Structures are given as C-alpha cells and as structure tokens.
Amino acid sequence: MTKLDILAFGAHPDDVEISAGGSIIRSVEQGKQVGIVDLTRGELGSRGNADLRDIESKNSSKLLGIQARGNLNLQDGFFEHTESSTRAIIETIRHYRPNIVLAPAPSDRHPDHGRASKLVREACFYSGLLKIETSFEGKAQEAWRPKAVYCYIQDYYHKPDFVVDVTHFWDKKMTALLCYSSQFYQPGSDAPKTPISGSEFFDFLKGRAMQVGRPAGFLLGEGFIADRTIGINDFDSLI
C-alpha cells in the first residue's frame, strides 16, 4: 500500500491532467505522494478506444511522476450513484488513505463530471464511518476520511475558492496531455470531431489558466472549489 498525500479522481482518463495536471506536477516536485484514479476507461469517447486510453494514461502517469494510478472500471456514461459504485470509491480511499482528495467539477458540460463529483465527495464522507465495512484483497480496511476535498474546474467556468500557481509547470503539463494523442488535435485525422479535438483547445486551456491565475497574481493558474471554509494558522499562508 502506498500512503498518498493527494488522490485525484477523474470520470475519464485525461480529466485530471486537463484540469489539475499542473498542480499535480507541482505537488510531486514538492515531494508529495500523489495518485490518480479514473472511474471509467472512457470507452464511450468518440475518438480512440478504451485499450488505447489505458496505454495513454500509463504514459501520462510516468511523465507526471505520480506514485499510483488505478481505474475502477465503472461504466462510462452510465455509472450510477449506487451502493456498489460508492463502495468501490470508499475502498480506494481507505486503501490509499489520502489527506486531500481532488474531485471533478460539481457541474459541467459532460454529465459524467458532475455525477462523478457528487459520488466522490459523498464517498469521502462515508469512508470515515466506522460501521461501513470494506475490504481490499480479502483484508479488512480501517475507516479513513480525507482532511479536505477540492473540486477542480473543468469545461464550464466556476469561480475558484483558491488558485494554484502552475506557471513553471505548464510545459510539462502539456507534454503529459499530449500522451492522449487519440483525444486531441491531429492534422489530417479523419476521426470524429469533439469539443476537445480542435486545434484551438490548448489555446482555450491556456486562456483559462490565465483567467484564473491573473486575479491571484499568477501568469497561469489552476482553480479549485472547496466544499468547506478553508482555515489557516497565520496570515502569511494567504500571501
């Protein structure tokens, strides 16, 4: 078992990289133990296929430098807020025992994102309940509740509660994203067009990073939404 500082959940492979990749790279380079768990294999995606996306996510993970990557194999597009799906996430949280969980956006263009956000955030709470019994590889697990859950901002704009400076990690983030070559722009490709496959998508990502970073005094930032009031020990934490 790898005890993680940060565990990021995505509805599909590449979700985390698109919206929080810079923050993850920054955390890894600070010495944090970080992992990613995708709920589905993205098998309904118009471009590529699940097997290809498995390979792409492995390649991206190597570039990110994360300590763990997993996939819960929930059904893309049709996973539901059920006991079995909630338990699968609880087992994952209890296995990695993260201090911080990153979840998808509460509402977004893709219905899976908002549904995954609610599922992950609720599982983080239930994971701390002693009377919910789970096991991993036949071994009983102890209850564990992350100290904080933060939602990353995806396609739709949400005003962030805080912003992480990713200016110096942007190029590496983009390199990790390009591992998902099946999903993004390929000159001359006859694959179906999607909202993220156009040549302008990376310009949009950088524009969004500038949009959320500028008010915080950063060139490029990634924004996060908090479910709770964020407490500090001293005013210097806000500088």
5-31 confidence digits (pLDDT tens): 999 999 999 999 999 999 999 999 999
What are the residues facing 35 on neighbouring strands?
Answer: 7, 68
User: How does pLDDT run along the chain (239 residues), one tens digit per residue?
Assistant: 679 999 999 999 999 999 999 999 999 999 999 999 999 999 999 999 999 999 999 999 999 999 999 999 999 999 999 999 999 999 999 999 999 999 999 999 999 999 999 999 999 999 999 999 999 988 999 999 999 999 999 999 999 999 999 999 999 999 999 999 999 998 888 899 999 999 999 999 999 999 999 999 999 999 999 988 988 899 988 77
Indicate the SS3 state at residue 134: coil
Which domains can be identified in the chain, with CATH numbers?
A: 6-227 (3.40.50.10320)
Are 128 and 97 spatial neighbours (Cβ–Cβ below 8 Å)? no
Q: What is the pLDDT of residue 1?
A: 62
Q: What is the pLDDT of residue 64?
A: 98
Indicate the SS3 state at residue 102: strand
111-143 confidence digits (pLDDT tens): 999 999 999 999 999 999 999 999 998 899 999
Of 67, 60, 63, the C-alpha closest to 4 is 67
Q: How many CB atoms lie within 10 A of CB 181?
A: 15
Q: Helix H segments across 65-189?
A: 83-96, 111-126, 170-177
